[in-house]
Structure 1
Amino acid sequence: MELTQDLLDRLLGESLRAREFSHSPYSKYKVGAAVLDEQGRIHLGANIENASYPQGWCAEPSALTAMLMAGGKRAVAVLVTGPGPDIITPCGGCRQKLREFSVPEELVIISGDPGGIRQRWTLAELLPYSFGPEHLKT
């Protein structure tokens, strides 16, 4: 699927909109994610903090859950936004979760903030030599 400028603009806008749903009373660091699935649909997620810190979750798995619940099977792009100006990327755990539902050499991960798109990579660049479902096949 080609990531046209129009599609990138939509992903950025949706990821920024997802930040509005963040529950981040402790860190005050709102993160949004917009996942584009193999059918061309966009699914949103936001970070959700919890007073028992390890029980919170990131924006990316929230968006992946929305994708799966809507019948999506594979993420082809994810645009993650934070407050800026620092570039935000998925944490290690989120990279592994994205790995479960993508082709690492094809999944495009894009970093953005209210100022626009900052950088992009493939998942394979951010998570080289990753472990995935194919390793468990006998």
Structure 2
Amino acid sequence: MKTFLLLLGLSLTILSCGSGNTGIKDNSDPAATNGDTIRIANDNLEYEIIIIEPGFNSWLLGQPPRGHYGQSYLETKNRMFVSDFNNRVLQPTRHSNNLYPEQINYDVTVDYGYEVNYLLYNYFMYFQDKYKQRLTGGRN
């Protein structure tokens, strides 16, 4: 009887340790659950933009709406911003690794479409405002 109780207690202990992990899985898209994360992906072009920045979504609501700027304007601005941003990544002694952790791979020969350019442009505007940075072509 003592062995049976010991085995039962051990079995319950093992089962109770693992039972807390079930039902917690979250297979949803992070962008749908986290208001401060925006993910844009296109498997055909093999690109992905993930913006994880607290406050970005609420800040974006106060900006000019989609369609306000033309795509060519956004692409031109993004080329300047990406170039300046990437140069700062390469100069860690002059610019913080916390603000400029890694380069942005923005290929000027690829048509990323309006939505990607709109969000990237606005992220750079947000970045400059929040962190008091001035990128080439940005707000004065």
Give the TM-score category using the shorter length. Answer: under 0.3
Query: Structure 2 length as normaliser, TM-score?
Result: 0.23
Query: Structure 1 length as normaliser, TM-score?
Result: 0.23
Per residue, is there more strand in 1 or in 2? 1
Largest Rg, 1 or 2: 2
Per residue, is there more helix in 1 or in 2? 2
